[in-house]
Structure 1
């Protein structure tokens, strides 16, 4: 854990869920290198979703870390064996394995993402036991995307605040009964695609609102992750490029 370093405060960490580059977007990236190397010369961050489905060897994470610039950051999704099968209970062995694997990213591990199942009801005792166990293993940002209404109540909010876990801003906002209530200064935005989840490309007016939200949240002093997960029809990379260019050009001024 000693080699983990926090991302500089106020960083804009815009990217996609995965680093595949479709031929239609290839012109925006260098021609030479692996997909990850080319991707990381344009984007500052990526979300690894494959870790949710299967483990990766430490050597694989180390190779990925060596492929990207020093300032690049990875967000890695917690395995479903912890979130969906164990339901956050009795998961020490699984957490140890995940921490040992992802530790090979070193300081480039910027966030651990916890996505809970749609039917994952908030159980205060289980959550209060799990979150400090997660926190003790990871010195980086922790983000949690809940998809059941019970995770948006006062008790859950307090618990996330106590353990410095960032509540994800998701689109569409599954399970969220009202406006977003932040739990840390940091921000993690996950854009899955609307109206067709994972497929739909976002229109320019929506992306402009995202740009303004990034700048507003960044002005508060926290790091801002913005990850496009609408990858099924290759919309994520063009959408993320538009937002990256928009904030870089200063077009998202409040």
Structure 2
């Protein structure tokens, strides 16, 4: 199967993986390139940078990555765990400034920010409003948040998503049923965001075609040209993210063809 060409992609949907590792068994899905990232970008037009969760990078690293991919390619960047898991959103103004100063090296290819919260972090309206206000003072790009404590899925939290134009992630496996569906403000936030981590074994399991085809249908129904649906496959431990992302891409393309 040849690499997907940019012209065949649906502008309402962006599909990719967490990271840009290419297992040898899937090398035929990609074109040529000077680096793994450049090769990855021959097939997919988005990637999620997870390494920023664990350690900082220099601006020149982001600049190099941005220079490796085509103009239409976009990166989402995961907020550091020092902010979300260690500080638990308290007193993080300086850390947010440092983070956004570094990722500025991506330039116009900086597609958005992913904020994953620890499962033990309960919703606190004052803290949430203060934190997201700090984020919004430092960036205008789309922001997605993946909360995992049940309190973040109560109806009153919707006001926070709307106030700061935050897209709540649709996750699989979902810690509770509401977490499987996107929420928030895609029109203002300019995206909706799916993260599929592998099921039943998180990070390891691959998905069957039935699940991937159903996902493709939801993505195409939800996505808009000005508010695209992003889908990141995070089941990377055994290299299944690449094949699953490619299958979702094929299903989306088939839906596009069927609709004319």
What is the TM-score when the length of structure 2 is the normalising length?
0.90
Could you tell me which residue of structure 1 aligns to residue 245 of structure 2?
A: 240
- Uncovered stretches (5+) of structure 2, i.e. residues with no partner: 1-9
Q: CA offsets per residue over residues 97-150 of structure 1, 9 Å max, x none?
A: 000000110110101000000111111110010101101211111000000000
- Uncovered stretches (5+) of structure 1, i.e. residues with no partner: 1-8
- Local SS of the residue matching 1:71: coil
Contact 2:161 2:168 in 1 (8 A): yes
- Local SS of the residue matching 1:250: helix
- 1:101 to 1:34, Cα distance in 2 relative to 1, 3 A: same
In 2, the alpha carbon distance for the partners of 1:252 and 1:78 equals 37
Q: Over aligned residues, Cα RMSD in angstroms?
A: 1.9
What is the TM-score when the length of structure 1 is the normalising length?
0.92
Q: CA offsets per residue over residues 23-71 of structure 1, 9 Å max, x none?
A: 0100111244200000011101000000000001000000000000000
The structure where helix makes up a greater share of residues is 2
2:255 pairs, out of 229, 234, 250, with 250
Aligned length: 246
Contact 1:211 1:252 in 2 (8 A): no
Detail structure 1 runs of 4+ shifted over 4 Å in the superposition: 175-179, 251-254
Question: For residues 3-42 of structure 1, what are the structure 2 equivalents within 5 Å?
Answer: 11-42=12-43
- 1:251 to 1:200, Cα distance in 2 relative to 1, 3 A: farther
Could you tell me which residue of structure 1 aligns to residue 210 of structure 2?
A: 205
- Local SS of the residue matching 2:61: helix
1:177 deviation in Å?
A: 4.9
Which structure is richer in relative contact order (CA contacts within 8 A, separation 6 or more)?
1
- Local SS of the residue matching 1:198: coil
